[in-house]
Amino acid sequence: MQKPSIQTFLQTNKIMPYGIVSIFFVVSLLISISIGTIHIPVRTILDIFSHALFETELLPTTEKMHENIVLDIRLPRVLLAGLVGASLALAGAAFQGLLQNPLADPYTLGISSGASLGAVFVLFFGIQIPFLGQLTLPFISIVTGFITLFIVLVFTQMIERSMKMETIILTGIITSSFLSAFISLMIALTGEELRQIITWLLGSVSMRGWEYVQLIAPFFFIGSILLVFQGTTLNALSFGEEKAHYLGVDTRKKKLFILFAASILTGAAVAVSGTIGFVGLVIPHLIRLLFGPDHRHLLPLSMLFGAAFLMCADLVARTIISPTELPIGVITALIGAPIFAIILIRQRVERRG
């Protein structure tokens, strides 16, 4: 009798994947806070957390400087990276499930570029909507991201009424390139803000404190709550819209609902960190390979793993050539681009087979 593979075991055991991913998340969080120009032991970090949450006495070995570094500098940065990674991975998993294509993600569909255009527009003109205040940036990013997705879908339907997945992906890439031209135009017209905007576009969570965590947090919680509970719907849609309709799914409303929620996550992530590609593409695909395609588990696992992955990517970005920092988008692209190519090759081989 053939022994089951590790992959088969992980896909049939529904509890262990959450344990594995949760451990990876916690370890990534602690290591990302611990490692830096000044090394802070994990025990000291836990002592600082205990003091901040439960007002316990600090250990004699815990310095005030370490407390300031952890709570005011590293923790907000690491949490921001986690929220951005979770948002992009969850949105990517939803797009892939909805469009039934592992190549779909906020980046390839053009949503990230649309959200970036809105954010750069706000930064370039210094726009602030009175009743929104600081929420103007994520709000405009979400709106422009959703409008971009709508344009991509409408244009795809004009080209090909059947709206094949490959056509949607290609249309998204073309739209993304077109919008990037407008972003480049605004960059060319900027003066002193040029470096700031370019650094932002490359993707970074550097020098972003609790203010940015507070900006993305409400949109993250709204978008993630709306999406995480759509696993059953996405499972039904994976059989095709006709079968999903017979299973009692209002396909039109559910599709718009999922697209809207995923756009909220994408727009908010882009607003606070810039364009970070490949997270929404690679993480859901990896989770699907390891733990199976059931969206009831794929969505929350992608969210947790995406958060941990971007924490680690940010750690590499700020330590690999220390004291200089690389944009986090560079690290995710170096990892994601080869995997993107492997997915394309694999799909082509499967079709020929």
Report pLDDT digits (tens) over 63-95: 999 999 999 999 999 999 999 999 999 999 999
Residue 226 has pLDDT above 80, yes or no: yes
Mean pLDDT along residues 246-251 = 84
Higher pLDDT, 185 or 69: 69
Nearest to 281 by CA among 113, 91, 151, 100: 91
pLDDT at 337 over 50: yes
Is residue 1, in this structure, part of any structural domain at all?
A: no
Give the domain range for residue 319.
Answer: 6-352
State the pTM of this model.
0.90
Residues 205-212 have a mean pLDDT of 87
Would 206 be classed as within a structural domain? yes
pLDDT of 156 above 60: yes
Q: How large is the average pLDDT for residues 118-124?
A: 84
pLDDT for 69 equals 95
Q: Does residue 330 sit within a domain?
A: yes
3-state secondary structure the chain: CCCCCHHHHHHHCCCHHHHHHHHHHHHHHHHHHHCCCCCCCHHHHHHHHHHHHHCCCCCCCCCHHHHHHHHHHHHHHHHHHHHHHHHHHHHHHHHHHHHCCCCCCCCCCCHHHHHHHHHHHHHHHCCCCCCCHHHHHHHHHHHHHHHHHHHHHHHHHHHCCCCCHHHHHHHHHHHHHHHHHHHHHHHHHCCCCHHHHHHHHCCCCCCCCHHHHHHHHHHHHHHHHHHHCCHHHHHHHCCCHHHHHHCCCCHHHHHHHHHHHHHHHHHHHHHHHCCCCCHHHHHHHHHHHHHCCCHHHHHHHHHHHHHHHHHHHHHHHHHCCCCCCCCHHHHHHHHHHHHHHHHHHHHHHHHHC
Statement: residue 10 has pLDDT above 70: no
Is residue 348 a part of any domain in this protein?
yes
User: Of 4 and 146, which is predicted with more confidence?
Assistant: 146
More confident residue, 136 or 134: 136
The structure tokens 């969080």 sit at: 29
User: Domain total for the chain?
Assistant: 1
> Token pair of 253, please?
């409303």
CA atoms of 301 and 34, how far apart (whole Å): 25
Q: What is the pLDDT of residues 254-286, one digit of tens each?
A: 888 998 899 999 999 999 998 898 899 889 988
pLDDT given at position 121: 85
pLDDT of 116 over the 80 cut = yes
**What is the percent of the chain with per-residue pLDDT over 90, rounded to a whole number?**
44
Average pLDDT, the chain: 87
Residue 1's pLDDT band (cuts 50, 70, 90): very low
Q: What local confidence, expressed as pLDDT, does residue 5 receive?
A: 62
Mean pLDDT for 196-216 is 82
Give pLDDT, residue 242.
80
Q: Would residue 40 count as lying in a domain?
A: yes
**147 located within any domain:** yes
Enter the tokens of residue 99. 């469009």
The CATH number for 315's domain is 1.10.3470.10
Note the pLDDT of residue 102.
76
Alpha carbon distance 81, 236 (integer Å): 32
* Spatial separation of the C-alpha atoms in residues 207 and 205, rounded to whole Å: 7
Q: What percent of the chain has pLDDT over 70?
A: 92
Q: Which of 42-46, 149-153, 154-158, 197-201 has the lowest mean pLDDT?
A: 197-201
Most confident range (mean pLDDT) of 18-27, 205-214, 289-298 is 18-27
- Is the residue at 36 inside a domain? yes
